[in-house]
Every structure is written in structure tokens, then in C-alpha cells.
Structure 1
Amino acid sequence: MNPFSFERAADVAGAINLVHAKAGAKYLGGGTNLVDLMREGCERPETLVDVTALSTAIEDRDGGGLLIGAGVRNTAVAEHRGVRTRYPALARAILSGASGQIRNMATVGGNVLQRTRCTYFYDEAAHCNKREPGTGCDAVDGFNRIHAILGASPSCVATHPSDMCVALVALDAVVHLEGPNGARTLPLTDLHRLPGDRPEIDTELRPGELITGVELPELPLAQRSTYRKVRDRASYAFALVSVAAALEVENGTVKDVRLALGGVAHKPWRAAKAEAALKGQPATEASFRAAAEAELTDAKPLRDNGFKIELAKRAIAATLGELAGDKR
């Protein structure tokens, strides 16, 4: 780990000024990802600016939604009554991720910005375009069981690791940002980038920008939402495939639906094709399966992860079936 200086920000403006003024500075939340990356040599910040004391509230919005501060710990989000009753998929997604100790430390902003857990990214002896642009991607022809089947490129096939972000994408979350040029908002679906030929750039954040909060809009169908995670073991494992879904059924027909996938792409994957295929269709297993087929049409498996295509289809259909009242 390289030597670095440490600063604690008193407020959001102070944090932005510190990062803007110091080359090689990074914001530090709970440190559950960044510190690991520093140990492995994947990140080498010269200054860490501690923002854990900032934006630590969960507030009801006038329109009926929630604004979750970026500094709120993951455990606090999962335990919040408004989250559990109005957005249960989010609470379940958080409880599916990591360990209790890590959830107690990790912040919302840090979770949103965590980097891939691809083993080649963490291995300094491996070729990785995300870690060292232009060196290649050993995962393409390597052991790629956990890697992407959607939205990947020849430059990078890594997946995004967050459970929380999958639920947030499905729930139409909006990210609040502040930076040297002022404040703005961005739909979470637009925050993370697909790799293309620049996989080292994870997000659409501008230099010095800080996430100050994540807003969940009023979304009545979110009360009937859930999160399903398929993984190799019951705890402390990243998703092979995960599904966040919300469903509204009226007279046996799908009136509205939200659907997102994890473990399949470089970013939390909003399943727009499946949503479009479902609206107005009977809330049946056949419809759910057809929607899943539509979403996975463009999937491109690697040598070791072709099983993810069928796994994703089954997980989508089973999750929607559960929400529709099918107890199988």
C-alpha cells in the first residue's frame, strides 16, 4: 500500500474542495471496498477524504419517496421501516450482500461506487484493461464462470458486484451529486457505464463529484417487490445471477412491472425488454418465461458461464411467479 494523507471533511463543500485541490485524492466512505483495493495495489490514492459523517439521514420526500443519504450505513437502510414496508426489494437485497459486520460499515455511496470483484482485476500479475488500460483482458480466455453475459466487450467481461444497486435500478432510483460545478441528479440506470473500449471508467461521475444521496421515488407497486439472489453458497458470496422485481397485477394481467438483473453485466442491468414484453400480458408462467427469453436474446456466453443464461431465465420467471402469488 502506498503512503497517503488523510483528511476528514466537515461538510460537503469542504469535501469537494479538498478533493478538487489535491491531485490523486479520493473520497472514503466505510472503506470496505476502497481499502481492499489499496491493499491489492488496484487503487493508489495520495489523499483520502473521509466523508462518513456527511449525508447520514433518511428523509421522507414531499412526493412520497425517500431520500437516503450517501453516508447512511447499509444496515440502517435495511432496518428502516419506510424501506422495509415501501421498498422491500431494497431491504432484501442489502441483507443478501456481504456479512453483518461489513453491512454495519459500508455506506450507501460506497456501495454504489464499489468496483468489480473480478479476480483478474485484483491480480497484479494478470492482464486487465480495467486496472491497466491497454494491457488486455485475461478473463476473456481464462476462468470466466462469474463473468458477464450481457453488455460486455472484448476489452472487459467483468460484472458489477452490488446487490443493493440492482434493487435501486429496478426501483427507479435517482442519484444526487455535488461537485465543483454545482449539484445535479442522475438516474441510477445512467450512472454506471458498460465497458466498451474504456473499461477503466466505471461511472459517469465528473471529476471531484460526490454522491450525497440516493432518492427513491414514490412507486406504489414497489410495495410488492422482492429480491432473489442465486449464488454458490448461502452467505458472503457474490451473485451468479440476481433478480430485483416489482409487479402489479390487475384482473390477472400485468399492469406494471420493474425488473433488474445482477451478476450478468458490467452494470446493474435494467431488464427493459422483459418489462416491455410483460406489460398487458397474462400474469402466467408462460408470460414470465417469454419475457425472460426476450431479455436474454442478446446474451453472449463465455467458455465457462453459459449456464447463466438459463439460470437467469429461470430466476426471472420464479421471482415474478412469487410476486404474482405462485408459491412454487
Structure 2
Amino acid sequence: MENNTEATEFLTKNFTDNADLEIFSFLLFLPIYLFTLTGNLGLIALVIRDSHLHKPMYYSLSVLSSVDSCYFSVIMPQMVADFMLEKKVISVIGCAVQMFLAVTFGTSGCFLLAAMSYDHYAAIHNPLLYVAIISPRIYVPLIFASYAGKILHAVIHIVASLQLYFCGSNEASNIFCEIPPFLAISCSEKHINQLLLFYCTMFIEILTILIVLMSYGFILLAILRTYSAEGKRTLFYTYGPHLTTVSIFHGTALFMYVRPSSRYAMEHDMVVSIIYSIVNPMLNPLIYSLRNKDVKEPIKQVFCQRLICR
């Protein structure tokens, strides 16, 4: 992307070139985008509106919803528009901005899921001291640290990517501008970029995965030791899906980012990109809210007030 590059724009690629399937995909993904955006923004509004949800756990949930909304909106509008366009083009600057925002919000998801798993551990392990453990003097600096970390992570990769040039194909075999497919099509020396991608991603993934595993490990021990059979079933029912979504998110991210660019395969990686960039933001508000009775009750009240009780 330097001055010596011959590429002034990039071509992205959807998972089908069939005109009829592209129309079907447009009609499928546009409602998915609107549904996911409405769900995440509605959850944020619910947390702000209901005083019973003014707790660190739900503040984290609303921040996760805002991150998912931003991440989803970085990718989906262009992808949906591309279904109706014959030539799927994005400028170099537009690609760099999309890549920066995708890395920023993707890294935010890693940190937030780790913070929420620790929050769940604190709520289960010692509920009487929960407010003292998860207090503003602890979680506010952590939020600022996570913001600084994710922006630094994005800046490192974007600055390194701006040194690349593209003298051959400018077609990136992915649904949006992402680092691995662009390393694959660059004809410049990219060893430094690959090392940065590997080590930065591995550091973040190992750190956040360890926090998640330790937190859920202690949650499991606390459940087995202190809860009745009914309580165990309820907590497994509540936290099992949380751990599943975290596993999907980290598993797909590791598959996409922690490997040589020579092993980039369009068919498999496009599916992986869809899972962690589209499916996960769509599932998060459902799993983290509709399986929580403290959130379900305000939702029922809102629907009752707006739709049924009039």
C-alpha cells in the first residue's frame, strides 16, 4: 500500500458468483444484519433503562453488545451491498480503515469475553463480596487498558501492512479486508508481517484463553462443591452456552490468524470468517441475555407495555 504499489483498489469476493444466489444471499443477510443490530442496540438500551441491571456484569454485557454492533457494521453493510454489485471494489484507504476497525473490535471481543468470564467467576465463587471484587476502581482501569491494548494491536498491524505493495493480483479471496488474505496476495517481503501477526495474536489469545479457562474451571469447582442438583443444572444451563460461544470465537480466530499465509484456502477461510464476524455477534445477545432471568424479565415488561397491555 505504499506509493510504489500498482494497486489502487482491491476486489473482495463473496462465497458465490451465481447471480440468483447473490440475490438470495442479499435477501438473507440483510435481515440478519438488521436483526443483529437491533438485538445488540436493544440490549444496550435495556441495560441503560432498567436500574436493576446497573451492575458490572450487565455493563460488560452492554459493552460487548456495542463492540459486536460496531464490528458487525464494519463488515456487513459492504458485504450486503456487494451482493448486488457486479464488481466488488474497495479502495486502498477504505480497505486499510476496514482492516484497522476489524482488528480493533475483534481484539475488544477477546478482552471482553475474558473479563466477563472472570466476572461470572466472581459472582459464583463469592457472591457476597461480588460488589467489592468487581468495583469501579478495578473494572474501569481494566476497560481503559483493554482499549489501549486493542488500539495498539491494530496500529501495529496497519503500519506493517502499509509497507506492503501488490504487483500481481489485487483480488482478496475474502468477504472483507482482513490481514491473512492480503498477506497472501502481496508480492513484497512479508516475513515481518507474518511474525507480528503470529506473535501478537498468540499473546492475546493465550492471555485471554487462560483467563477464560481458569475462570470457568473455578466456576465448575464451585458448582460441584456447593450447589444442589437443581442448582447445578441451572448453572450449567446458563454458563454452558457462554463457554461454547467463547470456544467458537477463539477457535475460529486461531485458525484464521495463527498459521502461515501459504496455507490460506479461500473456501475454508471464508466460512471461518463468516462464523466469527457474523454468526458470533448474532448469537451473543441471544445467549448472554435470553438465558438470563434478570434480563428476560425487563424484556417481557417492555413487550407487555408496548404491545400487549395497550
Tell me whether the two structures share a fold, i.e. TM-score over 0.5: no
* Greater helix share, structure number: 2
* Greater strand share, structure number: 1
Structure of larger gyration radius: 2
What is the TM-score of this pair, normalised by structure 2? 0.27
Q: Report 1 or 2 for greater relative contact order, CA contacts < 8 Å, sequence distance ≥ 6.
A: 2
